[in-house]
Amino acid sequence: MLKLNETPIRTANNFRINNIEIDAQIPEIIPEFENVQIIKENSEIDEAVSNRELVFGNNKELENIVFSKANSKIRILNNQKAENVKITYTFDEDSQVLLNQIDIVASKNINVVIEYKSESEKECFHAGIIRTFASNGANINVTVVNLLNDVSTNIESYENDIEADSKVYHKLIDIGAKESISNYFSNAIGNKADNDLKTIYLGQGSQVKDLNYIVHLRGEKTNVDIDVQGALKDNSKKNFKGTIDFKKGCKKAKGNENEYCMLLSDKAKSIALPMLLCTEADVEGNHSTASGKVDESAVFYIMSRGLSYKEAVRLLVKANFNKIIEGIQDEEVKTETFSSISFELPKHFEEAATTTTGKIYASAPEGMLVSFALFATGLQGSTIFEFSQALEKQMEVADVEIVQHSELLREDGKLFTRFTVLSTDEKTSAVYSDVYACSVGGQICVVTFATEEMYHSDYNRDICRAIVASIK
C-alpha cells in the first residue's frame, strides 16, 4: 500500500483528504524503457539531472527510488533562444515500467510538451519527477498529458523554482490511468515571479484522481493563478487539495485558485479542499470550488439546435476543457487529447434526465430541420397553464426570443403547447424555430421545426402528434 499526497496542513480525518492510499507496488526490477521520443531544436539535452530532495512531492520513499533507479533521465537546458521540445513516452508490450526524471533549466523562452500514452492493454506503472528552474526573465510553458490505459498507475511530482521576472506556466491534462496522483509545488522566489497552472481531468469507470497543489509566494508582486476543470462519471473519484501560502515579504502578491467538477453520475464522488495561508498583510487571495450536475438549461438550448441529449452533454464537457486544451502548443497532442474525451454516459444517468429516439412517421418539407427529444424528468405541471409557464421559463433561460406563444391544447390526456422562437448569430441569418411541447405521462416531448423563414402549420402539429404517438 502506497501512502501519497499528504496535505501541507492536516484537516479532520473524517474529510478523508489528508492523503491517499493506493494498492500499488513499486516494481523491484526496473528494466530499460525503450520507447522515448525526443523532438527538439536548440536546447541541450543530456542526463545530468540533480538528485536534490523535493520540498514536498508525493512520497519520500518513492522519490528516492526514482532518483536512484530512474530508467529515463532528461535535462533540458535552454539559454540561447526560443525553443520547442516534445517528449513522448509510449507504453507497450515491452515497456511497462517507467521511472523518469526531467529537469527543465531555462533563462529564455521554452515550450515543453510531455506525453504519456499506452499502445497496449497491459497494466503499466509510472512514477515521475518534473522540475523547472526559471531565471533571468525566462518564460517556460510545460504541458503534461496523461493518456495511459485504464489499468495503469500514474504518479507525478512537480517542483518549480521561479526567480525574479520569470514565468512558469503548466497545463496538466489528466485523462488516463486507473489511479492518477499528482503533487505540484511551486516556489515563487523572486519579485514579480509568475506562476500559472491549468488542469483538466476526466474520471470514468473506477478511476481515482488525487491532485495536491501547493504554491509558496515569497517575492514582492508575485502571482499565481490555478484553474482546474473536471468531469466525473460512473464510480470515479477525485480529491482536489489546493494551497496558496503567502509568505512573509510577498507584499502586493496575488493568488487565485478555482476548481469546478461536473458530475455525470450520482455515484461519482468529488472532494475539494482549497486553502489560503498568510503571514503577510498587503496581499490578495481568492479561492472557489464547486461541483454540480449538468446545466439542464444549457443542455435544453443545445438540443433545440438539433443535437441529442448525449451529444449536448459531451459538447458541454468539451467546452469546459476547450480553453485549456486549445493552449497546447503541439497540434498532434492537442488532437489526441480532444479525441480521448469521447465517452458514453452511464445508463442510470440517461434514465434520470435524458432523451430517447422515437420514430417519425412523416417527412418534413425540404429545407426544414426536424428534431425532437424526450425528457424523463424536468418540466412538470398539472394544468396547461403550469406546463406552459414552466416551458416558457426554460426558453427564457436558453436566451432565445419568443416571437409567439400559442396552441394550448389538451388531447387524450396530453398537454400541447407551441412557441415560435427567433435565434441569430454572426454566421447565419435569422432562424425561426417552431417548438412544440407535449406532456406524455409525466414526460416531456419537445419537437423543433427550424427554417430560415417563419413557418408553422397544422402539418407541423401533425408531425408532432405522430412523434408523440410513436413513443412507447
Structure confidence by residue, pLDDT tens digits, 336-346:
888 887 655 44
- Answer whether CATH 3.40.1000.10 is correct for domain 356-470: yes
Residue at 341: amino acid letter: I
Exposure class string for 283-304: b at 16+ Cβ within 10 A, else e: bebebebebeebebebbbbbbb
- Residue 16 has what pLDDT? 84
- Name the residue among 370, 375, 385, 389 with its Cα closest to residue 434: 370
> What global pTM score does this model have?
0.73
CB atoms within 10 A of CB 111: 18
- Residue 376 has what pLDDT? 37
- Residue 185 has what pLDDT? 98
- Residue 316 has what pLDDT? 82
Provide the residue ranges of all domains of the chain, joining segments of one domain with +: 2-293, 356-470
d(CA 10, CA 459): 66
- Name the residue among 445, 438, 316, 437 with its Cα closest to residue 376: 445
Backbone phi and psi for residue 202, each to the nearest 5 degrees, phi listed first: -135, 120
Residue with cell 516556489: 187
- Residue 305 has what pLDDT? 63
- Residue 296 has what pLDDT? 67
- Residue 318 has what pLDDT? 81
- Residue 131 has what pLDDT? 97
- Residue 377 has what pLDDT? 37
| Whole-number Cα distances in Å, 296 to 196, 204, 377, 445 | 31, 21, 11, 15
Could you say which residues of the chain have pLDDT below 50? 345-382, 407, 427-428, 451-457, 471-472
d(CA 104, CA 120): 30
**Which tens digit of pLDDT belongs to each residue from 246-300?**
999 999 999 999 999 999 888 899 999 999 999 999 999 999 988 888 776 677 6
d(CA 239, CA 307): 33
- Residue 468 has what pLDDT? 54
Residue at 415: amino acid letter: L
Neighbouring C-alpha atoms within 13 Å toward the C-beta of 405: 14
- Residue 369 has what pLDDT? 44
